[in-house]
Amino acid sequence: MALKTKWLISKEKSCSCTMPGVWRAVSYCRGCAVIFHSPRGCAHVASTMDVTSQFRDFSEGGTETMEPVPLISSDMRERDGIFGGTDRLRRCIRYTAQEKHPQCILIASSCVAGVIGDDVEAEAREAEEELGIPVVAVNGSGFLGGEYGDGYFAAAQAVISRFFKRCPKKAGTVLFLGDNGGPWGPYAREAGRLLSCFGLRTAGQFPGFVPFSEWDQIPSASLSVILGGWGQASRKLEDMADLLERDFDVPCLGHVYPIGWSGTVQWIRRVGEVTGQPGRAESLVREEESRLHQAVASMRRVTEGKTAVIGIGRSAVYYDPADTVQMLRHMGIKTKAVIFYDNVGEQDRVLYRKELEKEKDIPVLSMGDDGQKAIDGSDVLLTTHEILNICTRQLFIPMTSPVGISGEIAFMKALYRLLCRYGRKGGMAYV
């Protein structure tokens, strides 16, 4: 009997929208206000998404230190969808200026505004002349303009083009590029901890977390570090880093990420190379390796000799199974098989197989009887999607990869706790 998967996202089409991305790109930039030229539900969805994105970070000890900026909807109605909504947008801009007193306003247009052809850019230009503050329209019309990431990077590009300036460098400062949970998230915390070992400090995180009054000084950082991993978003962050290096003389650490043990070692050594501290880098690698071995030693009495299957229903641009295999090997767990779920396209399968070529003893299977037998015969399933009607323990592989040795240890502990659970009761556990 074929495996049945609980899909967490659409298998075929994106159900995303550019507008929440625009919001996230400036959501904690003090001095700004964001207007959605949209029905009010669009703003509700974006603000709710922003709130729920913090829950995991808070559960892991993160503390939010900023307040989101105002998010206001022009509240388009049925009549506006027929006759045009520019009058309503004009009133909304004036209300925002009078009531919220922003230093800068960004406007994101919805699919409704895009369909009826409201000239949001013209309204922004007129409002800027009237109010005497920057009013920036970000291209994109909801789901007509692409996905979340398209809105996010369009807003970032608008800010760079309009406000960034060449300026003197501040020694020892690092600009984080990307989000990954914000300054209080595990990525920024772990990367900041490792950078501090080299005498570096974080000067800001862009886009989304630098006050408007400091936008023109963002290029004063002496180094940029991408908070990325695998995926399409990382590629766009890499493009952003290349732009900052080319146009504003902000060198980038490089397209390396502290994901998994091998990636973390490479990242640390790269920091040592860039800062002229290779000796400190090697010392830090030894310290982190000792941390990892100490953590593993306390778990191996349970994990040694166990077996696991890795189930993949995620595009190859977002996940590298080789790091998971390496983590399992550290814990003494044998990977019995890697299974492709039925939403993994042929191109992604080719890329995955290429990554797994060096693992000669790990069979690569598809959903079906062979996959079912492999799962039933293993102690745990590490999976991107929940599998229904199985008794095997399941651990969710998060979309945001564990960062550094701290993230690696956290993932291991979650797996250890799952294997400590009595019996073989199925169901999903989370990191």
Under DSSP, is residue 50 helix (H, G, I), strand (E, B) or coil? helix
Across 60-86, average pLDDT: 73
E-only strand ranges, 110-182? 135-141, 170-177
- Between these two residues, 336 and 370, which has the higher pLDDT value? 336
What residues contact 289, with CB distance under 8 A and at least 6 apart?
none
Q: Which domains does the chain have, with CATH numbers?
A: 18-163 (3.40.50.1980), 170-289 (3.40.50.1980), 298-429 (3.40.50.2000)
With b for 16 or more beta-carbon neighbours within 10 A and e for fewer, the 361-370 pattern comes to ebebbebeee
Best mean pLDDT range from 9-23, 56-70, 95-109, 117-131: 95-109
pLDDT at 87: 83
Cα–Cα dist 361/294, whole Å: 28
Residue with tokens 């399992």: 328
Lowest-pLDDT range of 15-29, 202-216, 304-318:
15-29
pLDDT digits 0-9 by tens, 228-275: 876 666 788 899 999 999 999 999 998 889 988 888 999 999 999 999
Tell me the DSSP string of 251-309: -B--S---BHHHHHHHHHHHHHHHHT-HHHHHHHHHHHHHHHHHHHHTTHHHHTT-EEE
pLDDT digits 0-9 by tens, 311-325: 998 887 778 888 899
Under DSSP, is residue 14 helix (H, G, I), strand (E, B) or coil? coil
**How many other CB atoms are found less than 10 A from the CB of residue 424?**
12
On the question of pLDDT at 25 being above 80, the answer is: yes
Identify the helix (H) or strand (E) that includes residue 5.
Answer: strand 5-6
**249: its two tokens:** 């003389």
- Between these two residues, 402 and 244, which has the higher pLDDT value? 244
On the question of pLDDT at 4 being above 90, the answer is: no
Confidence tier at 23 by pLDDT (50, 70, 90): confident
**How many other CB atoms are found less than 10 A from the CB of residue 265?**
18
- pTM as predicted: 0.85
Q: What are phi and psi of 366, to 5 degrees?
A: -105, 170
